[in-house]
Chain A
Amino acid sequence: MEKMLRVGAAPHIFTKDSTAVIMQDVVIALLPALAAGVYFFGYRAALLAIISIASAVAFEHLWNVAFKKPTTVYDFSAVVSGLLLALNLPPTVPVWIPVVGSFFMIIIVKMCFGGMGQNFLNPALGARAFLVVSWPSIMTSYVNSGAKLIPFLLPDAVTSATPLSGEAATRYIDLFIGNIGGCIGETSKIALLIGLAYLLIRKVITWRIPVAFVGTVAALSWVFAGDGYFNGDWLFHILSGGLFLGAFFMATDYSTTPVTKNGAFVFGIGCGVLTVIIRLIGGYPEGVSYSILLMNVASPLIEKATAPKRFGKAGFKSA
Chain B
Amino acid sequence: MASILYEVVRLTCPQVGICVSLLIFVGRKAMGISLLHLPLRFPTFTGGVHPDDNKRHTAHLKIEELSAPKKMIFPTLQNAGAPGEVVVEVGDSVKVGQLLIKQCGIISANHHCSVSGTVIAIEPHLHPCGSHVKSVIVENDEKYEVFRNIKPLGHPENLTKEEIIKAVSNAGIVGMGGAAFPTHIKLSPPSGKKINHIIINGAECEPFLTSDYRVMLEDTDELLIGCGALLKAVDASECIIVAESNKKDAIAKIKQNPIYQKNEKIKTAIVKTKYPQGGEKQLLSAVLKKEVPPGGLPADIGAVVVNIDTCAAVARSITTGMPLITRVVTVSGGAVANKRNFKVRIGTPVADAINAVGGFTAEPAKILLGGPMMGVAIHSTDIPVTKGVGAILALTEKDVGIKVTTNCTQCGKCVDVCPMNLMPTIIDRYCENFDAEMLEKLNIADCIECGSCTFICPARRDPLQRIRTAKKKINAFKK
Contact = CB atoms under 8 A, between A and B. Distances in A.
- Physical interaction between A and B: yes
A91 B13 CA distance: 34
Interface in B103-160: 130
17 contacts: A7-B378, A7-B379, A9-B377, A10-B373, A11-B455, A12-B372, A13-B207, A15-B49, A22-B409, A116-B406, A116-B407, A117-B459, A254-B410, A259-B415, A260-B412, A311-B446, A312-B292
Interface in B433-479: 443, 446, 449, 451, 454-460, 464-465, 468
A13 B51 contact: yes
A171 interface: yes
Interface in B368-396: 368, 372-381, 395
B406 A234 contact: no
Interface string B57-81: 0000000000000000000000000
Interface in A105-138: 114-118
B34 A235 contact: no
A286 B280 CA distance: 52
A235 B2 CA distance: 13
A255 B291 contact: no
A13 B455 contact: yes
Contact of A311 (B17, B294, B406, B412): B294
Interface stretch (A37-45, A154-162, A302-310): A302-310
Contacts of A264: 412
A11 B372 contact: yes
A2 to B, nearest CB: 8
A10 B33 contact: no
Contacts of A307: 423
Interface stretch (B3-11, B165-173, B197-205): B3-11
A17 interface: yes
B421 A10 contact: no
A312 B410 contact: no
A249 to B, nearest CB: 15
Contacts of A19: 404, 406-407, 409, 458-460
Contacts of A172: 2-3, 6
Interchain residue pairs A-B with the least CB separation, the first 4: A259-B412, A11-B451, A173-B2, A308-B421
Which residue, of B296, B414, B451, has the highest number of chain A Cβ atoms within 10 A? B451
Given A6-B366, A260-B415, A311-B294, A12 B14 contact: no
A319 B14 contact: no
Contact of B130 (A7, A14, A15, A254): A7
A318 B31 CA distance: 11
Given A12-B377, A13-B400, A315-B290, A235 B407 contact: no
A308 B415 contact: yes
A21 to B, nearest CB: 7
A272 interface: no
B426 interface: yes
A5 B395 contact: no
Interface in A231-267: 233-235, 254-261, 264
Contact of A117 (B37, B130, B409, B449): B409
B289 A317 contact: yes
Given A260-B423, A311-B446, A5 B408 contact: no
A171 B366 contact: no
A222 interface: yes
A197 interface: no
B293 interface: yes
Contacts of A5: 364-367, 377-380
Which residue, of B10, B17, B367, has the highest number of chain A Cβ atoms within 10 A? B10
Contact of B456 (A2, A15, A206, A235): A15
Contacts of B426: 259, 303
A235 B13 CA distance: 9
A237 to B, nearest CB: 10
B292 A259 contact: no
B192 interface: no
A318 B30 CA distance: 12
Nearest to B365: A6
Contacts of B399: 12-13
